[in-house]
């Protein structure tokens, strides 16, 4: 088993929390983990990325080679293009639909999303809508982890102890809301994976699940 994952977004979107959950879920299952330092956190709104490698055998390097990533997990959709060169031919992109327009010449949103759906295996996540429905608007990163999980060697229950560790000081309601966002993301990711595995194009998968 091996999963090489590029985590991408902008400062303030919870990339560190995503990395924490994936790292600890992997270690709890007995996997080996290598993670390159999260870069770009110095300024809120600046590009943030990290390489995360999970395997059941020893991992030597913490850097993912070009064309070898099994997944790009992007909390900001435009960031997908920045790291697309890392994606393997059979890899999947799991990206938020919600843009973070931190540059004056941000491309038209529909073009950004269409470029993602033109990829053979891509999932667009209404992370904002899922988080708001769960009652915690900041839980968009939880929705993203949930949507990515069907493509990874985890189950949602693997994350629960670490979600509790992160949020128990804020009360049981916050813990439950973050778990709800994870679970909603997971349901979406599972539905998308089932259709992608049937060979449907990403755009058709998105159309079917939105209708």
What does the alpha-carbon distance between residue 15 and residue 38 come to, in Å, rounded to a whole number? 8
> What CATH number does residue 103 fall under?
3.40.920.10
Task: List all residues 6 or more positions away from 64 whose beta carbon is below 8 Å from its beta carbon.
Answer: 4, 5, 6, 51, 53, 86
Q: Give Cα 186 to chain centroid, integer Å.
A: 11
Overall number of domains in the chain:
1
Residue with tokens 């960031």: 79
Task: List all residues 6 or more positions away from 165 whose beta carbon is below 8 Å from its beta carbon.
Answer: none
Tens digits of residue pLDDT in 25-79: 999 999 999 998 777 654 566 788 999 999 999 999 999 999 999 999 999 999 9
Regions in the chain scoring below 70 on pLDDT: 40-45, 211
What does the alpha-carbon distance between residue 180 and residue 178 come to, in Å, rounded to a whole number? 5
Q: Kindly list the strands in the beta sheet with 2-10, ordered across the sheet, starting from the edge strand earlier in the chain.
A: 32-35, 47-55, 2-10, 69-74, 87-96, 122-125
Residue 23: the pLDDT is 97
**80: containing domain:** 2-210
Residue 141: in which H helix or E strand, if any?
helix 140-148
Residue 12: the pLDDT is 78
How many other C-beta atoms can be found within 10 angstroms of the C-beta atom of residue 41?
16
What does the alpha-carbon distance between residue 182 and residue 206 come to, in Å, rounded to a whole number? 19
Vertex 33 angle, CA 29 and 36, to 5° = 150
What does the alpha-carbon distance between residue 123 and residue 80 come to, in Å, rounded to a whole number? 12
Does this model's pTM top 0.85? My answer is: yes
């Amino acid at each position: 088993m091996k999963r090489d994952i590029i985590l991408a977004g902008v400062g303030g979107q919870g990339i560190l929390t995503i990395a924490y959950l994936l790292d600890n879920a992997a270690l709890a299952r007995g996997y080996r983990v290598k993670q390159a330092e999260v870069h770009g956190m110095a300024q809120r709104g600046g590009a943030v990325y990290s390489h995360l490698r999970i395997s059941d055998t020893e991992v030597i390097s913490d850097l993912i080679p070009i064309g070898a990533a099994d997944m790009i997990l992007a909390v900001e959709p435009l960031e997908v293009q920045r790291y697309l060169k890392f994606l393997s031919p059979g890899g999947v992109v799991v990206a938020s639909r919600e843009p973070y327009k931190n540059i004056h010449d941000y491309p038209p949103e529909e073009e950004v999303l269409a470029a993602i759906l033109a990829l053979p295996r891509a999932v667009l996540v209404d992370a904002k809508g899922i988080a708001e429905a769960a009652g915690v608007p900041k839980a968009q990163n939880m929705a993203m982890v949930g949507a990515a999980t069907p493509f990874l060697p985890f189950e949602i229950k693997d994350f629960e102890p670490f979600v509790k560790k992160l949020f128990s000081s804020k009360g049981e309601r916050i813990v439950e809301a973050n778990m709800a966002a994870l679970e909603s993301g997971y349901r979406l990711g599972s539905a998308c994976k089932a259709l992608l595995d049937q060979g449907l194009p990403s755009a058709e998968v998105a159309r079917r699940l939105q209708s």
